[in-house]
Structure 1
Amino acid sequence: MVHVLSSRVLIRPGDPERSRAFYGEALGLAVYREFGTGPERGTVYFLGGGFLELSGRAEPPVAPGVRLWLQVADVRAAHEELTARGVPVLREPVRERWGLVEMWIADPDGTRICVVEVPEDHPMRVRPGL
């Protein structure tokens, strides 16, 4: 088995400055590190238990099958905060039949992002044997 020490999602945005403004300012992700210089420099953000790296540039569509899943403590509070920052919401928070509360947004290149809350009574919060 491969012993993974760290991981990150790598995105090549169409407009790096616009994407940095979205992830760093609109979503409020904290910067882990930056490297290089100029508009295509790399920026790595903390993403819960992983990292999100924006670096380089690509012509859209950027990986149309890629989705990000961001778990938050309170999706309705996240909804209020993101709409106040001008982030367009593709779908309002809804409790799905599988029990998660999901809201959908997209980054400037169209990468869809699920902002999700795992309710207290959801099986994902129950650890077998504890």
Structure 2
Amino acid sequence: MDVLSSRVLLHPTDPQATTAFYRDTLGLAVYREFPGGTVFFLGGGFLEIVGRGQAGPTADMALWLQVRDLAATVAELRQRGVEPISGPKREPWGLDEAWIRDPDGTRIVLVEVPAEHPLRVDVREHT
């Protein structure tokens, strides 16, 4: 399989509220809009808000969003009315994390990768 692009699809119970949350509250840039949906940039991928869901989110799924400065991001989101459900804090695996929810309850982890974390190691130096 040769994957050329990818995106996460969310089917919210309230598409307008969810689209406004990702666009206005989180400040994600819009990649494209079409009748019935909006696609947002998510770093190396995309998030598509499309259609209308019935069941709501599952605890088995979460969005992982890496940010440059977790403390500043959380402070900015608090000013916009978003209170983290946990964090920010350094987790045992070495990442700084804070958790929030979108209007439907979809869990979102905001992650800062500290400079000394293995995810920041340039693997080309070790080959």
TM-score band, normalised by the shorter chain?
over 0.9
1:104 maps to which residue?
Answer: 99
1:32 maps to which residue?
Answer: 31
Matching of residues 52-71 of structure 1 within 5 Å? 52-71=47-66
The amino acid of 1:75's aligned partner reads: L
Name the % identity.
57
Structure 1 stretches of at least 4 aligned residues deviating more than 2 Å after TM superposition = 60-64
User: Is the alpha carbon distance of 1:64 and 1:96 closer, same or farther for their aligned partners in structure 2, counting shifts above 3 Å?
Assistant: closer
Matching of residues 40-59 of structure 1 within 5 Å? 41-59=36-54
Unpaired runs of 5+ residues, structure 1, are: none
Aligned-residue Cα RMSD (Å) equals 1.0
Matching of residues 74-85 of structure 1 within 5 Å? 74-85=69-80
Unpaired runs of 5+ residues, structure 2, are: none
**SS at structure 1 position matched to 2:85:** strand
TM superposition score normalised by structure 2 = 0.94
Superposition deviation, residue 79 in structure 1:
0.5
Contact 2:94 2:114 (C-alpha < 8 Å) held by counterparts: yes
**SS at structure 1 position matched to 2:108:** strand
Matching of residues 108-123 of structure 1 within 5 Å? 108-123=103-118
Contact 2:99 2:110 (C-alpha < 8 Å) held by counterparts: yes
**Count of paired positions:** 125
**SS at structure 1 position matched to 2:75:** helix
Superposition deviation, residue 32 in structure 1:
0.1
